[in-house]
Amino acid sequence: MRNAFVAALACSVALAAMPLSANAQDAKFPLAAAAGQNSGAQATPLDGATNQGAFDKTTWKYGTAWDVEGEVPIWNPVKLKMMRGEKVTGGTVFAGTDPETYCAMANSGYDFIWVEMQHNAKSWESVARMWAACPFAKAVPGVRVAYTDEREIQHALDAGALVLVLPTIDSEAEAIEARDWAFFPPMGRRSNGGGQAFGKDMWGGVPGGYRQTINANLVFIPMIETLDGLQEAAQIAKVDGVDGIFAASGDIGNFSGYKQGDPDYERLINIVHDAAIDAGVRVCGPLAWRDRPDFTCFQAGSESAAIGRGVKEELGDLMDTQGKPEVGPFARVD
């Protein structure tokens, strides 16, 4: 008898708990579809919805969840200088993966650091570690990615890149696809998946919030390097989101068969120049072209070249005055 009473009591407690659980669920998800039922959401909006009628991605009105009050703040100093038409320089970290070396470059006077991923085998883990070591250095983190695909661009931006250089852009369509991976909706298709860029030790505390303002602060630079890219340079430069286009001095020679100074080569550089001017964006190139008309953003030398220049300036006439023994591994070679 006692066992029957206990069983009945347990059953009544369970039954009493069920509506409470359902009520709790309703309170937590008041607009959710009922369990086990087709809600008809594809055809019918919920009460109070902005988007009416059947769901249609082509007519969808984007919401205000990520808006900022007033004008979007520009907190990226490179973006600010480019908007003003001022000259910006990017020092190249080519082979280095050591945070101390990176931070020395980043605090040496450049506007941004061009971390080289296209022609180097370093990992995104090592890049993220360098950027995390000194995110608020004088030079902001930038990168030339290896591929213009979702994986590379997402890795770069989630790790904290504020300057994104895209190699060998051959068409307007390729520029648009790269743009879509780089920018959050509604401008692009970047996934909001997190990463150290969102953290308080990097860009999590920027004015207006990182997710809300990065579209306006990212510097996006496609490189024109091939004959295909030159053919569509004017269209590439006009893609929404482009801040400047880069005339790739080396690869334009590589793909054209001419060298700097040749009329055919110079014509191709002028095509890039004209495309940028007509689109109202910046013309970028190597630092050696700092005095070339209308060029305002530049890639400077690598960390090894910077060390060499620094030693030369520091030592002056004491440079290369090593002793020269007559014998042994350091013997003088005339």
pLDDT (average), residues 102-116: 96
What pLDDT does residue 20 have? 44
Q: Is the pLDDT of residue 224 over 60?
A: yes
Report the pLDDT value the prediction gives residue 334, as an integer from 0 to 100. Answer: 57
- Backbone torsions φ then ψ of 140, nearest 5 degrees: -80, 155
Bridge partners for 163 per DSSP: 142, 219
What number of residues does the chain have? Answer: 334
Q: Residue 154 and residue 191: Cα distance in Å, rounded? A: 8
Half-sphere exposure of 128 (CA within 13 A, CB side): 16
Residue 90 near residue 164, CB atoms below 8 Å: no
* Mean pLDDT in residue range 266-274: 99
Residues 6+ apart with CB under 8 A from 317: none
CA–CA dist 26, 29 (Å, integer): 5
Confidence of residue 21 (pLDDT cuts 50, 70, 90): low
> Is 70 exceeded by the pLDDT of residue 16?
no
Token pair of 98 as six digits = 């050591």
pLDDT band at residue 18, thresholds of 50, 70 and 90? very low
Q: Would you list the DSSP string of 218-266? A: -EEEEEE-SHHHHHTHHHHHTSTT--EEEE-HHHHHHHHS--TTSHHHH
Let me know if 171 is exposed, middle or buried by CB neighbors in 10 A (0-12, 13-18, 19+).
Answer: middle
Q: What is the pLDDT of residue 24?
A: 57
Mean pLDDT value across residues 90-107: 95
* Per-residue pLDDT tens digits for 28-63: 899 999 999 999 999 999 999 999 999 999 999 999
Q: Is residue 297 within 8 Å of residue 87, measured between CB atoms?
A: yes
- In contact, 138 and 177? CB cutoff 8 Å: no
Decide: helix, strand or coil at residue 280: coil
Q: What is residue 331's predicted lDDT score, i.e. its pLDDT?
A: 87
**Rounded distance between C-alpha atoms, residue 193 and residue 190, angstroms:** 9
φ, ψ at 151 (rounded to 5°): -60, -50
Helix (H) or strand (E) holding 213: helix 210-217
Domains of the chain by residue range = 77-317
Which token pair is 288?
A: 């050696």
DSSP 197: G
Q: Tell me the C-alpha distance between 23 and 26, whole Å.
A: 5
88 closest CA partner among 284, 281, 237: 284
**What pLDDT, on a 0 to 100 scale, did the predictor assign at position 13?**
45
Average pLDDT across the chain, whole number: 92
Place of tokens 């003003």: 84
* CATH assignment, 77-317: 3.20.20.60
